[in-house]
């Protein structure tokens, strides 16, 4: 099949670029270097969509590299990801598929993604949903997560409602707002502060940060399902598809 003019020009440009980069500095004189540079500039101005293609190719490569790193980290950290002693879960405790979310109480995307998770848990009674507290949005987030840890220790049965209430609240989550939510569920501030003093959640935070680093997670929400990491608030549909894939082929993405 004959190449289009655009494809031919692009092929020539690629070949010339490769040749130019591979040549020693003395192979082209200054006039030739200038002419070659002007040719590239003119071609890109005439065909600016090429830059979009390059950007897409770069993003695709980075995504694949990131996912490969995450897959290795998931394989090496199964217990800490899916069964950490610090984490509590929602949904079916004996579910056939586990979905893990790294979240921060002050993450706006996490707040909006709550409806995605709630939809999954409402429509699929066989999913286990693990809450991985990952305070990365400043001192107030650390404060809120310390209170959250106290709630988990004092009244684990009330933690799911506490977590959904605080994450779904307006304004910045901090120590005061977290204690207010806990008190509304029947816990006493004195007990919360005593637990916070006796049981700082430094080890929990360190574990979450170490896992995130290994998995290539730099923001929230991020999810782990099967052998994959899913970065960002992607919506309920992609997550449901990966859950279905887990049941079909045992992987988040079936080949």
Task: Give every CB contact of residue 216 below 8 A, 6+ residues apart in sequence.
Answer: 66, 69, 70, 73, 229
SS3 category, 152 = helix
Separation of alpha carbons 211 and 11, rounded Å: 43
Tell me, what's the pLDDT at 8?
46
Instruction: Give residue 1's pLDDT.
Output: 42
Give CA separation, 83 vs 89, 99, 125, in Å: 10, 11, 19
Residue 118 is predicted with a pLDDT of 95
176: three-class secondary structure by DSSP:
helix
Give me the pLDDT at residue 3, please: 44
Q: Which residues make Cβ contacts (< 8 Å) with residue 7, sequence separation at least 6?
A: none
pLDDT attached to residue 58: 67
pTM confidence score? 0.75
pLDDT-flagged residues of the chain (< 50): 1-9, 11-12, 15-16, 19
- What six digits make up the tokens of 130? 């693990």
Q: What is the pLDDT, as a whole number, of residue 35?
A: 75
pLDDT of residue 4: 47
Question: Residues in the chain, how many?
Answer: 255
């Amino acid at each position: 099949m004959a190449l289009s003019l655009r494809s031919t020009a692009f092929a020539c440009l690629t070949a010339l670029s490769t040749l130019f980069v591979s040549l020693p500095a003395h192979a082209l004189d200054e006039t030739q270097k200038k002419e070659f540079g002007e040719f590239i500039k003119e071609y890109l101005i005439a065909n600016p969509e090429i830059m979009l293609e390059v950007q897409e190719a770069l993003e695709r490569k980075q995504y694949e590299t990131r996912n490969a790193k995450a897959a290795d980290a998931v394989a090496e950290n199964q217990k800490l990801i899916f069964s950490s002693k610090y984490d509590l879960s929602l949904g079916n405790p004996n579910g056939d598929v586990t979905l893990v979310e790294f979240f921060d109480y002050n993450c706006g995307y996490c707040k909006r993604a709550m409806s995605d998770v709630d939809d999954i848990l409402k429509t699929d009674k066989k999913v286990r949903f693990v809450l991985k507290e990952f305070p990365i949005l400043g001192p107030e987030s650390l404060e809120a997560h310390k209170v959250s840890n106290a709630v988990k220790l004092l009244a684990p049965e009330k933690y799911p409602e506490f977590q959904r209430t605080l994450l779904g609240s307006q304004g910045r989550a901090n120590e005061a707002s977290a204690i207010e939510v806990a008190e509304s569920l029947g816990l006493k501030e004195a007990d919360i502060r005593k637990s916070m003093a006796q049981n700082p959640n430094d080890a929990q935070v360190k574990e979450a940060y170490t896992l995130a680093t290994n998995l290539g997670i730099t923001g929230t929400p991020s999810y782990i399902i099967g052998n994959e990491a899913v970065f960002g608030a992607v919506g309920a549909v992609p997550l449901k598809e990966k859950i279905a894939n887990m049941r079909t082929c045992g992987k988040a993405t079936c080949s």
